[in-house]
Structure 1
Amino acid sequence: MTTNTVSESQSQSQSKKQNFAPLIMDVAVPVGSYYLFKDALGMSTFAALAWSSVPPAVRTVLGVVKERKVNALAVLILVVNVVGLLLSFVSGDPRLMLAKDSGVSSTIGIGILVSVALGKPMMTAGMKPWLVKGDAAREAAWARLQSGSAAFRRAERVFSVVWGVVLLGECVVRVVGAYTLPVDTMVWLGSVVLAVAMVLGFLVSGALAAGPMAHMLAAETNADADLGAAPVAAPAPAFAE
């Protein structure tokens, strides 16, 4: 009993690491390093973006060399950083400075939608850890649904589409606001628009995709548990003729 409990705990721990590793390496490290370089170390925006581009660039190269595949999240963060580097040269017009902030959102939104079109929804990497929760049984159920359930794969695509559309919509609203509203108003309103977009993305993607996927995942996990717990019929006794 104790051995099985320890083994199950180790399996769940390993599953958590596998699920959260892409988010940590491809998102948290580059974004965190940007703010570390810019705010804590006092680097310029250009220098901070340049240095924070190193981890996703390395991840992309290693993925191509070792695994013969492109790491989508790492590439997206790298592209966003490159766009930020290019936009950092834009200066002078305050309205253009406000509009350029939405360039990151549009880049991410387009990248997400392209990943859906290619059949590899990018937002799955961010959603999966919250649904699987590091549980080995749920991990196995996810794999079965992803390979055998059209409804599950459709919901997976919908989740990414919602976020792609929300981010592009946020970009459009901020650009329009930058050129139609007073600059002083848009300085604070831009953050409000971003916050509203995030809340909207969570609510809509949860209702249309994450929620249904969670129900399907729970049902598949329970069905597998019930199957494993079903008693095995004893063989019929043999009678001598």
Structure 2
Amino acid sequence: MPALPAARDAPAVITSGNRRGRPGLQTLLVDVGGSLALYYGLHAAGVDDVTALALSAGPSAVKTVVTVARGRRVQPTAVAVLVVTTVVQVASLITGDPRELLVRNALLSLPSGLWMLATLWTRRPLTFQATQILFPRRAALMDELWERDPRFRRAWRSITVMWGGALLLDCALRVLMAATLPVPVVPALDTALTLVTVVAMQIPTNVVLYRSGSWHLLFGRRRAPSMKESVR
């Protein structure tokens, strides 16, 4: 299912039986765990909030650069994350306001949510495309189901609406937290919001797929043929 990534990568897909969880775990550890630990470590050492928040984006930025360099191709989403982070960091260093850094994830959630909703008017919605990328062995089956099953198409469009709305709500909550809560509290809550949203949104996403009759086709285990069927 599409997920709100920890470091604001493109919406990913998490489903039962996902065998590609290792890259997602690495993203979680580096982008969330690394950044969070770095911020609170610097904060405990007496570093001011602006500097600590700016430096805490370092692990994610380095990972993005390394990923692009290894792939020898430009990843638009990764580059967009890096550009937005850099711009916000420079602005906050100039103004000296740490709250500008606290809203950097919100500045990525807003366009991501709008972009996701905009794909409802394209040939294939973003959540559908993300699922095919994460499950390449099921891509052909998904294409087949998309062409012949109206319920399957409606399910993915509904999922896209849900996740687009979740990203917009995510943006609003992050802005509210950054504007009203003590600065040292926000990074932890920001991380918690990401994790809670990702986990919570799996439920309605799976329900929509199940009710459309396509969940078992995509992610269920194939039933082994009985002896009687094998004889036939």
CA RMSD of aligned residues (A): 4.4
Uncovered stretches (5+) of structure 1, i.e. residues with no partner? 1-19, 63-73, 230-241
Structure with bigger helix share is 1
Deviation at 1:59, TM superposition (A): 7.2
Give the AA of the match of 2:118. Answer: V
Structure 1 position 118 matched with structure 2 position 122: yes
2:205 matched residue in structure 1: 205
Structure 2: distance between partners of 1:197 and 1:30:
16
Deviation at 1:33, TM superposition (A): 8.9
* SS of 2:103 mapped into structure 1: helix
Aligned residues: 188
TM-score (norm 2): 0.57
Structure 1 position 168 matched with structure 2 position 168: yes
2:110 matched residue in structure 1: 106
* SS of 2:209 mapped into structure 1: helix
1:149 matched residue in structure 2: 149
Structure 1 position 127 matched with structure 2 position 128: no
- Of structures 1 and 2, the one scoring higher in RCO (CA 8 A, sep 6+) is 2
Question: Could you tell me whether the CA contact under 8 Å between 1:76 and 1:108 is conserved in 2?
Answer: no
Question: Could you tell me whether the CA contact under 8 Å between 2:132 and 2:139 is conserved in 1?
Answer: no
Structure 1 position 86 matched with structure 2 position 84: no
1:186 matched residue in structure 2: 186
Structure 2: distance between partners of 1:29 and 1:165:
26
User: Which of the pair has more CA radius of gyration?
Assistant: 1
Structure 1: distance between partners of 2:205 and 2:129:
14
Q: Could you report, residue by residue, the CA deviation over 1:81-140 in whole angstroms, capped at 9, with x for unpaired residues? A: 22222222123212222122322322332332222332332222433477x6x7x6x655
1:71 matched residue in structure 2: none
Structure 1: distance between partners of 2:22 and 2:192:
27
Structure 2: distance between partners of 1:117 and 1:167:
18
Change in Cα spacing, 1:188 to 1:142, as seen in structure 2 (3 Å) is closer
Structure 2: distance between partners of 1:93 and 1:81:
20
Deviation at 1:176, TM superposition (A): 0.9
Q: Could you report, residue by residue, the CA deviation over 1:60-84 in whole angstroms, capped at 9, with x for unpaired residues? A: 978xxxxxxxxxxx43333222222
Structure 2: distance between partners of 1:210 and 1:85:
41
Using the aligned pairs only, state the percent identity.
23
Deviation at 1:163, TM superposition (A): 1.7
Structure 2: distance between partners of 1:196 and 1:96:
23
2:10 matched residue in structure 1: none
